[in-house]
Chain A
């Protein structure tokens, strides 16, 4: 099930729907697991009346975690060597997110094969919410 350097091609893609109609409850669930209880993510009254946003919004790290699910499903468990993202737009309750990895390079270093990926997660309007990159060990 592991990816193989011999069969990967630059430009190959893998994508998954990682959130559908994202709920406020899932955002709260992430707050509880991660320990980040910032009211901007959990408290609609504070976020709309004090902070001035239209509603609570997802932790960037929730969106990264959702993107990471697509990534580990693609490269396999325990194979990532790097994973980095920029948060380019906020994610709101009700959003549906698609995460995509594209093969940018396949390389070999000291006998170990790696794949370099570019990452993009977009919402239902096609707006990018996360852009990033990752590398993973692959089989020959």
Chain B
């Protein structure tokens, strides 16, 4: 997979913190953050998920001139495509080597990990796929290591 350049910006950190309902000034107020142990604005622990914004090929973002699989005039924007429950997120793990700050320019590389299958009463056959993502800073130092596990289900998860 190609490497992605992820410039870390203060406004993006602010929007991300708002979205997770976190009004801690260390995520949006430079003056207040300066007086904390962090010494300035830092990003919340799950912020690097926002790398999707910088992936030119990210499949879960509508793109100009391309058909989108959500609803438009009809329930599915892409006619004739079988319905799919898509992939669900099963696990996510982060290892922090340091906490990232506005101004960092991260280089992000994802490699496939293990794949395994499991039978589930609630969703049929489950296929799990692991992805290891390394976030390195402008000095080439490893900042965050992430391990995500996605699962595709045979059918939508039964809510019973």
B66 interfacial by beta-carbon distance below 8 Å: no
Subset of 18 A-B contacts with CB under 8 Å? A18-B21, A26-B19, A34-B50, A35-B50, A40-B85, A43-B70, A46-B76, A49-B76, A52-B85, A52-B155, A62-B20, A64-B92, A68-B46, A72-B44, A78-B99, A80-B99, A84-B92, A90-B157
**Smallest beta-carbon distance A47→chain B, Å:** 9
Q: How many residues of B are in contact with the other chain, CB < 8 A?
A: 53
Contact A83 B45 (CB under 8 A): yes
A43 closest partner in B (C-beta): B70
Q: How many A-B residue pairs have CB under 8 A?
A: 162
B3 interfacial by beta-carbon distance below 8 Å: no
Q: Using CB atoms and an 8 Å cutoff, list the residues of chain B in contact with chain A.
A: 12, 15-16, 18-22, 24, 26, 36-38, 42, 44-46, 49-53, 55, 58, 60-62, 68-71, 75-77, 83-86, 88-96, 99, 147, 155-157, 159
Q: Is the interface of B mostly helix, strand, loop or mixed?
A: loop
Q: Which residues of B contact A68 (CB under 8 A)?
A: 20, 22, 44-46
